[in-house]
């Protein structure tokens, strides 16, 4: 890996440190894939990626799951106050697929307050899936408003602003193959 200041992807921006390396992420995602494979011995599995943050994690994760599955996405928008998540959630893209009777695994990049995720889970639960679980790459475990357990967690993340591997700062840095702290 190039040194941080020399990484041309950073636009000259200094990052504090690399929190999760590309190699470490690959190893952890492989383990999560094994956990998920074991957790679903039968039934139809639909993996729902919450865009945009989950796109890299999801694509790596599904390739580590050794059972049949389908992939779709959700695009959610919180409305109300733009800076603080309002907890009101609206689906901008809603999967075409029938959810009833399927195992649904909702994949999220990072759980911070969990507000958006809680509302999304309410919405998905109403469609009568066979099961409904959350898989988050990172979980900050702070002031969580998540009313559902996070069944699969990649890492308990530090309370710092993280970028890379799908996570952005003002839409930048999603393409970093590692996760770095901006603070």
Question: For 159, phi and psi rounded to 5 degrees?
Answer: -80, 65
In DSSP terms, which residues pair with 75 in a beta bridge? 51, 93
Is the distance from CB of 134 to CB of 108 less than 8 angstroms?
yes
Per the annotation, the verdict on 112 as an active-site residue is yes
We find the least distance from the C-beta atom of residue 168 to ligand IMP, in angstroms, to be: 6
114 counts as binding ligand IMP under rule CB under 6 A: yes
Query: What track of x and - describes contact with ligand IMP for positions 78 through 97 (by CB under 6 A)?
Result: -------x------------
Among candidates 27, 25, 26, 74, which has minimal Cα distance to 46? 74
Question: Judged by CB, which is closer to ligand IMP: 43, or 158?
Answer: 158
Q: Out of 81, 94, 112, 122, pick the active-site residue.
A: 112
Question: Judged by CB, which is closer to ligand IMP: 93, or 161?
Answer: 161
Q: Which stretch binds ligand IMP (CB under 6 A): 3-11, 24-32, 98-106, 112-120?
A: 112-120
Question: For 75, phi and psi rounded to 5 degrees?
Answer: -120, 115
Number of residues near ligand IMP (by CB under 6 A): 15
Among 36, 65, 107, 162, binds ligand IMP (CB under 6 A): 162
The CA distance from 33 to 67, in Å, is 10
167 counts as binding ligand IMP under rule CB under 6 A: yes
Looking up tokens 């069944």 gives 151
Is the distance from CB of 88 to CB of 123 less than 8 angstroms?
no
Query: Could you say which residues in the range 124-153 bind ligand IMP, by CB under 6 A?
Result: none
Structure tokens belonging to residue 156: 């308990």
Among 109, 124, 132, 133, binds ligand IMP (CB under 6 A): 109
Closest residue to ligand IMP, judged by C-beta, is: 113
The CA distance from 71 to 64, in Å, is 13
Question: Judged by CB, which is closer to ligand IMP: 103, or 115?
Answer: 115
Query: How many CB atoms are closer than 10 A to CB 30?
Result: 13
For ligand IMP, the binding residues (CB under 6 A) are: 53, 85, 108-117, 161-162, 167
């Amino acid at each position: 890996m190039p040194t941080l200041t020399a990484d041309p992807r950073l636009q000259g921006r200094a990052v504090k440190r690399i929190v999760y390396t590309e190699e470490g992420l690959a190893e952890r995602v492989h383990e999560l894939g094994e956990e998920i494979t074991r957790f679903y011995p039968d039934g139809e599995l639909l993996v729902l990626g919450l865009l945009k943050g989950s796109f890299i994690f999801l694509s790596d994760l599904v390739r580590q799951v050794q059972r049949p599955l389908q992939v779709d996405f959700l695009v959610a928008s919180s409305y109300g106050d733009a800076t603080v998540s309002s907890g009101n959630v609206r689906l901008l893209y809603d999967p075409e697929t029938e959810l009833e009777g399927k195992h649904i695994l909702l994949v999220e990049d990072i759980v911070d307050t969990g507000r958006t995720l809680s509302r999304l889970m309410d919405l998905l639960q109403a469609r009568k899936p066979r099961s409904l679980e959350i898989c988050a790459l990172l979980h900050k475990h702070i002031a969580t408003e998540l009313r559902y357990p996070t069944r699969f967690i990649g890492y308990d993340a530090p309370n710092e602003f993280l970028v890379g591997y799908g996570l952005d700062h003002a839409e930048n840095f999603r393409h970093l193959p590692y996760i770095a702290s901006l603070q």
